[in-house]
Structure 1
């Protein structure tokens, strides 16, 4: 992701690997080796793609006994926010250890590239993969909602930084052929100050691409979440913001109706949203408008994952329908 208003950045084993991008740079490889156990060494690397900003690699680590384990290496190349994001992720992965939220374990971090070619973070590898297919969505959505409720229930001794939204009325990109009146009304909505809120611990990029499910599931009728990844933008802010972000992704991946259904699932799972309809709509609209800025970037990983029908134009049309539906439904 390029900023916290974007819609998707799947990582880990989400998508087919780019083998030619797998090579670990020399200084980074030496840094990784210093953080391995005695007798271990890197015996294989696979580049993972799907993210917009970071390079992601799965490293296979061989031990003296002939066994192997996997680690994941995140590297930011020429990204202005790299130090802040990696510090956030390192702190969050440490915080989540021992909680009910399963996340990668921190192995090492070099946020300032003091030892690596570029800012990097090394973490444990979780089993499972993101699932973005339409099939089985009815059963996954309640699990996604319940997982987000668990994240919002965390009360760290030290709060992360306040949430950031970068989308402004001037940066919104109205899709070609969109309902101009509806979009103008939506843009006017985010000219207003953000509604008051009770702060919560936010993932800030919670969406199907960053939630791992057991794959293949032992029972297709009973999918199971195996972990949540990509914690670089952990923040403190309104629960509605995380809910809105996942709602936008579901609307673009599976159709606008699913964007509306996620908020219902979140409340059914025990989550609390803003008190008034207008306040809830503000956050939903704000995140939907943010998605307008990078339709190409967020839709490409979906196509690479097999959703070839999700062309930028198709995603734009779904976004237009979703925005107009938000305005018409939440009145």
Structure 2
């Protein structure tokens, strides 16, 4: 589906790519919920290449973090030449003055999102190995630091849950003293919809807007809570085992960070992420997601009691 962009936006893209660039096609990219993603097919000097334009259109998010475009730009530049394939930054517009909205323009990585793998354990192992590689970067001088999205002290009793008392206990734990842990450069939004595949191998990792220096367990926990919603607790646990295998002694698991990551995704009654539907996961429902999150919570509280 070919769509149109405002002339101001197109002019900024052409200027950023360079003299002689001609935009041949603009089409939407699946999976974008908090920003608008477009793929641009551009011809320049008899060569045709694809680019990705991210426009930060969520006003509430921009009010909370007005430097989103700069954040992603610095994350992409930081991760270049560090062993992980990420998009190459072309340009960014911090304020939207040139593009029309705050935006980042980057190259497009080959590959596609895979949520229904043929060999699930191989898929899990690849996910875990790639995250372990990301965490080899310590984050020296990277200016963005981890913060929690939700304040556990102000979380309300979840009326949607069948185990609300256990959720209140989790809020109490998350609001307590945080355990000492390893800090590194973390993606902060690492999950299967932000990983691209080709031929059974990961070709790259995208969506670096939230990257920061923070607890490794936050990255592991965020991926686990996504896996728990998509496939169930056992898949999330298999991912943890695979990650521990690849990270060796550099990672000491503590269930606190899983609980914190779980609480951080809560924003009203849990529902199906629209990106999952766009990528073909049509068997999900809000009720199933809520049931799986209850089960995942109980598994984490068991781990916490045993730790």
Q: Do Structure 1 and Structure 2 share a fold, with TM-score over 0.5?
A: yes
Which residue pairs with 1:182 in the alignment? 166
* Helix, strand or coil at the partner of 1:86: helix
Which residue pairs with 2:288 in the alignment? 314
Q: Residues 202 and 234 of structure 1 are in contact (CA less than 8 Å); yes or no, is this contact kept in structure 2? A: yes
Which residue pairs with 1:73 in the alignment? 53
* Helix, strand or coil at the partner of 1:316: helix
What is the distance in 2 between the residues matched to 1:102 and 1:121? 17
Matched, 1:46 2:27: yes
Q: CA deviation at 1:296?
A: 5.5
User: Which residue, 89, 110, 116 being the options, matches 1:106?
Assistant: 89
Which residue pairs with 2:267 in the alignment? 293
User: Which residue, 87, 90, 93 being the options, matches 2:76?
Assistant: 93
Deviation string 1:199-241 (CA, Å, 9 cap, x unpaired) is 1111100111111111xx2xxxxx2110000111111111111
Deviation string 1:153-202 (CA, Å, 9 cap, x unpaired) is 11344123220112123235626242123222212211203222221111
Matched, 1:273 2:273: no
* Helix, strand or coil at the partner of 2:105: strand
User: Which residue, 236, 242, 245 being the options, matches 1:259?
Assistant: 236
User: Which residue, 221, 224, 232 being the options, matches 2:209?
Assistant: 232
Q: Unaligned regions of 5+ residues in structure 2, if any?
A: none
Q: CA deviation at 1:270?
A: 2.0
Please report the TM-score for the alignment, with normalisation by the length of structure 1.
Answer: 0.84
Deviation string 1:26-59 (CA, Å, 9 cap, x unpaired) is 2111000102233221000001132221100000
What is the distance in 2 between the residues matched to 1:172 and 1:48? 35
Please give the residue correspondences for 1:243-254 in structure 2 after superposition, counting only pairs within 5 Å: 243-254=220-231
Change (3 A) 1:172 1:153: farther
Which residue pairs with 1:119 in the alignment? 102
* Helix, strand or coil at the partner of 1:132: coil
Q: CA deviation at 1:23?
A: 2.1
* Helix, strand or coil at the partner of 2:265: helix
Instruction: Return the structure number with greater relative CO, CA threshold 8 A, min gap 6.
Output: 1
**Count of aligned pairs between the two proteins:** 300
Matched, 1:194 2:178: yes
Please report the TM-score for the alignment, with normalisation by the length of structure 2.
Answer: 0.91
Deviation string 1:64-92 (CA, Å, 9 cap, x unpaired) is 42x41100000012332454222121112
